[in-house]
Structure 1
Amino acid sequence: MLKHSYRYFLFLLLILSSCKDSEVIPEQSLTLEEEQLLLGNPSGATADESNPNNYLMLKPQYALSYSQERGTPNWVSWHVSEDWLGTAERQDDFRADPSLPEGWYRVGSSSYRGSGFDRGHNTPSADRTKSVADNSATFLMTNMIPQAPSNNQETWANLEDYTRDLVAEGNEVYVIMGSYGEGGTGSNGSARTIDNGRVTVPNRIWKVLVVLPEGENDLKRIDADTRVIAVDTPNSNTVRSDWGTYRTTVDAIESATGYDLLSALPTQLQKELEGQVDQGPTQ
């Protein structure tokens, strides 16, 4: 009798052990800040005041590398999904970012006034409508660049609308946007800086979108068939409104900026995705 009981006990242990081994352990939940940097930190930015031109700023709504010298972000990274879209109205509360280190010049709401350039959002207002606080966060001036009006209101607006159309179709999109170079052409003509030289006008504006069907464990779901859209436009008021004509490769943007844009992905996968020019629809 004891022999049979012992065998039964061993059999029960074996079953329990097998169940434990086959159990799927869910991926640890990301913080909102980690969500915005899922694809990696393109420039290796750090939250160190001694690194003023590659200063990492993490917000629940987006992450960015800020340049004190340029008075603009180098790049901004964020996630667009159904969870981020709601009914909050556009706040239009442009303002200096109080989270910049003490003693740094803070670009203000009137710094672009009379310049001929728009206060161009990186993370769009319409990508953050879940709450008033989320929308308001997009109006911090650390999220702005001097952008030619036609570029901002037509070319870029069309790409932003298309991004949200993708979400409405059941996708989620990871976006990295930035700018580089010096000198653009706005409604008042060409300029290299504004705000008495404290804000640099970029020459080029770029964006990379990684498109996934809505789901979980997003980083692990990116593969060689994932749609990646890379766009690089001149910061000019004569820019064409069709953003699709400015499609390029991630490799080309990395070459121009020195950034590693999809650094969180395996090296071989980066090579496969970053050398392709998107051929998908644009509306």
Structure 2
Amino acid sequence: MPCPLLRILILASLLAGAAACSSSDPAPGLPATREDNLALGNPSGAVTDAAQYNNYLLVKPQYTLSYHRDRGTPNWVSWHLSSAWLGAAARQDDFRADNTLPAGWYQVQANSYSGSGFDRGHNCPSADRTASVADNSATFLMSNMIPQAPRHNQQTWASLENYCRTLVGQGNELYIIMGQYGKGGTGSAGYYTTLNNGHVTVPKRIWKVIVVLPNGPNDVARVTSSTRIIAVDAPNNNSVSPNWSTYRTSVDAIEQATGYDLLSAVSGPAQSTIEAKVDNGPVQ
């Protein structure tokens, strides 16, 4: 039997360990999980009501979005990204119409951008959903696409998406919201305001907001005034800089441009502080 003093020291050590585990702060090495894609708030108050044709809520297991029937694109798409969403599933490339849209609505087709000089630009990226074939395939619905200038899509946005996955590899989980606004962009075939006989609007600007948290539970409660927020707003043209950090801005500025209330689920004081900041952190 250990001596009384040794027993006391062992008990004290056990109690200290239990206290540490009960802390509200995430412990290093916590496993990644899949969380609610809309946990940080519904930016436009979208609802699943066909009468709200310019702000229709579509909830999918892989992402959540607000769809605009007359623009033929999402207003915004929101998703959670952690290593739990990543795996070895191949890129499916099965672009297709979204038949879950309300009856009678025009469905943008896989070939609706053909010959326009614009890419079928993902909002929620294919490479953010590789844990299963079904997850990856879901990103190829045309309701997740916007007409995106090739350089913007393949260079500027691709490097930002890769950086997001780098952050995940460092033990973080992210909440990402991407959207667009305005009308008229310049792709590889010149300037267009609409495609597909007017069924698809070409956006003028494309933005993204990224909330970076270490892996852990109670995500919304863990967003504080010191949480890193990366907000980017870039023109939709083919002369855009490949360096996404050139276009860093504040959440407040994106809200002013779009009329949305981003990160609305975050507590008031923290929300005000982080939305006013322009990120100056690392970019790779």
Question: Shared topology, TM-score over 0.5?
Answer: yes
Deviations 1:87-117 (CA, angstroms, capped at 9, x unpaired)? 0000000000010011000000000000000
Aligned 8 A contact 2:86 2:131 in 1: yes
Distance (whole Å) between structure 1 residues aligned to residue 114 and residue 200 of structure 2: 12
- The normalised TM-score by structure 1 is 0.88
Structure 1 equivalent of residue 259 of structure 2: 258
Distance (whole Å) between structure 2 residues aligned to residue 260 and residue 39 of structure 1: 10
Shift of 1:273: 0.5
Shift of 1:202: 0.0
Structure 1 equivalent of residue 111 of structure 2: 110
SS at match of 1:145: strand
- The answer on 1:67 being equivalent to 2:68 is yes
Structure 1 equivalent of residue 15 of structure 2: none
- The answer on 1:225 being equivalent to 2:209 is no
Distance (whole Å) between structure 1 residues aligned to residue 120 and residue 282 of structure 2: 28
Q: Match of 2:113, as an amino acid?
A: Y
Deviations 1:122-178 (CA, angstroms, capped at 9, x unpaired)? 000000000000000000000000000000000000000000000001101100000
Distance (whole Å) between structure 2 residues aligned to residue 217 and residue 274 of structure 1: 20
Q: Match of 1:182, as an amino acid?
A: K
- Structure of greater Rg: 1
Contiguous gaps of at least 5 residues in structure 1: 1-22, 25-30
- The answer on 1:119 being equivalent to 2:120 is yes
Stretches of 4+ aligned residues off by more than 2 angstroms:
none
Matches within 5 A, 1:37-48: 37-48=38-49
Distance (whole Å) between structure 1 residues aligned to residue 39 and residue 128 of structure 2: 17
Aligned length, in residue pairs: 255
- The answer on 1:49 being equivalent to 2:56 is no
Shift of 1:269: 1.4
Distance (whole Å) between structure 1 residues aligned to residue 272 and residue 222 of structure 2: 17
Aligned 8 A contact 2:225 2:269 in 1: no
Structure 1 equivalent of residue 6 of structure 2: none
Distance (whole Å) between structure 2 residues aligned to residue 234 and residue 102 of structure 1: 33
SS at match of 1:178: strand
Distance (whole Å) between structure 2 residues aligned to residue 245 and residue 281 of structure 1: 12
SS at match of 1:41: coil
SS at match of 1:36: coil
Shift of 1:198: 0.6
Distance (whole Å) between structure 1 residues aligned to residue 246 and residue 50 of structure 2: 39
Shift of 1:213: 0.5
Distance (whole Å) between structure 1 residues aligned to residue 223 and residue 267 of structure 2: 10
Shift of 1:210: 0.2
Structure 1 equivalent of residue 157 of structure 2: 156
Q: Match of 2:183, as an amino acid?
A: E
Matches within 5 A, 1:13-52: 35-52=36-53
Contiguous gaps of at least 5 residues in structure 2: 1-21, 24-32
- The answer on 1:92 being equivalent to 2:93 is yes
Deviations 1:203-246 (CA, angstroms, capped at 9, x unpaired)? 00000000001111111111111000000000000000000010
Structure 1 equivalent of residue 247 of structure 2: 246
Structure 1 equivalent of residue 59 of structure 2: 58
Structure 1 equivalent of residue 28 of structure 2: none
- The normalised TM-score by structure 2 is 0.88
Shift of 1:279: 0.5
- The answer on 1:198 being equivalent to 2:203 is no
Distance (whole Å) between structure 2 residues aligned to residue 267 and residue 104 of structure 1: 38
Distance (whole Å) between structure 1 residues aligned to residue 272 and residue 193 of structure 2: 35
- The answer on 1:136 being equivalent to 2:112 is no
